[in-house]
Amino acid sequence: MSGTGFKPRVLLPNALDPDAENRLGQHAELLRPDATDSKSLCAAIADCDALIVRTHTPVTRELLSAGKRLCVVGVAGVGLDNVDLAAAEALGIKVLSKPDAASDAVAELTVALMLQLLRPIPGLAEQYRTGSFRQARAAAHGDELREKTVGIIGMGRIGSRVARICRAGFGAHVFYNDIVDVGPLSFDATCAEQADVFARSDIITLHVPLTDATRGMIDASALEQFKPLALLINTARGAVVDTDALRAALNADSLAGAALDVVTPEPLPVDHELFQCEHCILTPHIAARTHSGLRNMMGIADDVLAHLLRSAPRS
């Protein structure tokens, strides 16, 4: 395609940041659909060479099939569970994402959530703000991460960062489980069966993709295997945790607390019982959304453009 004078057409159902769009627009024609429902996208993609979406836009077999010239799909995010990968492969369409764009951002938020569950900082700060300085200091509170055993489910890009911070940074003990051999690590961590990680960990943090194997992984049966008064962190995918089972465990005080950046359904209704739970922290799916994390994810524009410029147009 390079050198032919032909400008590829890129469909953008979701806005990217201005810098990414400017870089893309120097070499490609950008098209914005009138609406983002399936019918509108299928009509708009018919003569496009590329599609770039955010992680909340479904890229279905129907949409991929409607792109007769489509050769590449870019996802401005880490995961690909919004894309029908089998359909893309069958149709010869390349799928690109930015899997490492926000690994540090997600890992750091994960550890921050651990610390907030261990030490109720916002509540103590509120006591001080409202004049209860002495009352806030009257009794010991919380625990140190150094004293805890942290269980990592999924020792990939993010899980391994969390494990390193917990072990090398805080001195916590680390157990982990992964479906593949993660190889030698630069810090002390013990590989164990999943059930053993559940049973031995004071804090369990999830860092797995959403697949048929991980959907609903943390259900009532799994929660029963947890150490009494354990803490659960989920910054992976909401559907990995059975929301109803988690709510029941928190209400029964069999868990000491949970921190969830992702949930199912998302967003939760404002009257959902988890919002009323004193020991449940809910953040609005913002683990990756630091300035650096978003900037890195927007680099998908450059990856898609590079693929287009080295590929022949599809007729």
**Residues annotated as part of the active site:** 237, 266, 285
Q: Output b/e per residue, 24-35; b: 16+ Cβ within 10 A.
A: beeebebbebee
Instruction: Supply 76's token pair.
Output: 């401005």
Question: At residue 269, what is the residue type?
Answer: P
Q: State how far the Cα of 83 lies from the Cα of 60, in Å rounded to an integer.
A: 6
What would the 3-class secondary structure string for the chain be? CCCCCCCCEEECCCCCCHHHHHHHHCCCEEECCCCCCHHHHHHHCCCCCEEEECCCCCECHHHHHHCCCCCEEEECCCCCCCECHHHHHHCCCEEECCCCCCHHHHHHHHHHHHHHHHCCHHHHHHHHHCCCHHHHHCCCCCCCHHHCEEEEECCCHHHHHHHHHHHHHCCCEEEEECCCCCCCCCCCCEECCHHHHHHHCCEEEECCCCCCCCCCCECHHHHHHCCCCEEEEECCCHHHECHHHHHHHHHCCCEEEEEECCCCCCCCCCCCHHHHCCCEEECCCCCCCCHHHHHHHHCHHHHHHHHHHCCCCCC
Contacts of 96 (CB under 8 A, 6+ apart): 72, 73, 74, 75, 300, 303, 304, 307
